[in-house]
Amino acid sequence: MPLEIRHLDHTYSEGSPFEFKALKDINLNIEDGQFVGLIGHTGSGKSTLIQHLNGLLQPTGGTVLFNGADIFTEKKEALIQIRHKIGLVFQYPEHQLFEETVEKDVSFGPKNLGLDEAEISRRVKHAIKMVGLNYEKVKDKSPFELSGGQMRRVAIAGVLAMDPDVLILDEPTAGLDPSGRDEILNQIKTLHEKKKITVILVSHSMEDVGKLVDKIIVMHAGEVVFFDTPARVFTQIDTLESIGLAVPEVTYLMRELKKKYPDIREDIFTVEAARQEIERVVRRESDV
């Protein structure tokens, strides 16, 4: 199991008048190859949590295990290696691009690993292709000549070139238009399917995570409210609404239809699944 979070607490400005408890006894097990969504309002603790997963923040209490090793008791050199294996893509990652060309930017991480030139070249080409860009067309371009969505892909490629076991993406579609958002989400889905790595996707959008993930972590006020499959989480409409979250619109539709068709399923959260379920009910009704 790549990530085990045990009784994790984090308090900002501890002991000062500005003390704020951002995480409260978080306990989670994230399995190898799992695609997990992390959702909650601003201030719920999402960003604080993910910064503990590769040691960027030190916990006030509790710990995080990566492949069984406590990352906060490891020596500095070991923690650096862990960070190479747990890739974190911050919100607006294109702001972190700085090299003259796409190829140089993506190769920055692998070079710092001390790899030979042949391995660096292999990783860079593979990473750029994995994010859906044409290596030959973009390698010599400045990252800043690209569209917003393409720049974000380059930033993600830079993390992938480190060959991580876990990929954490913090609001990877923030600020993109609908087309750019769909491109990034589809690329993340393809990455997960091809590389079989563990992916943690932080998002505000229930619709986005519902289409992609195996499980959803719902956070509120520094605590985990749910950690379950989308189907189970999205049936908890009253609880979600009480903490200011809404389920996908299609789930509300299915709940309304259930008033007329009692046997219709409510655990629907994608348009395609809703279409199939409505067709099933219509066929059954027409046969009666």
Q: For 48-90, how does the pLDDT look when each residue is reduced to its tens digit (9 = 90+)?
A: 999 999 888 999 999 999 988 899 886 777 777 887 899 999 8
The pLDDT tens digits for 235-256 are 899 999 999 998 888 899 998 9
Mean pLDDT of 108-124: 92
Report yes or no on 278 lying in a domain.
Answer: no
Report yes or no on 4 lying in a domain.
Answer: yes
Residue listed under structure tokens 């790595």 = 197
18 three-class SS: coil
Do the beta carbons of residue 254 and residue 260 sit within 8 Å? no
Report yes or no on 288 lying in a domain.
Answer: no
Q: What CATH number should be reported for the domain holding residue 131?
A: 3.40.50.300
Report yes or no on 254 lying in a domain.
Answer: no
Nearest to 23 by CA among 4, 54, 46: 46
Q: Quick one: pLDDT at residue 149?
A: 86
Report yes or no on 24 lying in a domain.
Answer: yes
Average predicted confidence (pLDDT) for the chain: 90
Report yes or no on 203 lying in a domain.
Answer: yes
Q: Please state the domain count of the chain.
A: 1
How far is 35 from 211, CA to CA, in rounded Å?
11
Report yes or no on 282 lying in a domain.
Answer: no
Q: Determine the structural domain holding residue 164 and report its residue range.
A: 1-246
214 three-class SS: coil
How far is 213 from 185, CA to CA, in rounded Å?
11
Report yes or no on 260 lying in a domain.
Answer: no
pTM: 0.89
Q: Quick one: pLDDT at residue 1?
A: 65
Do the beta carbons of residue 169 and residue 200 sit within 8 Å? yes
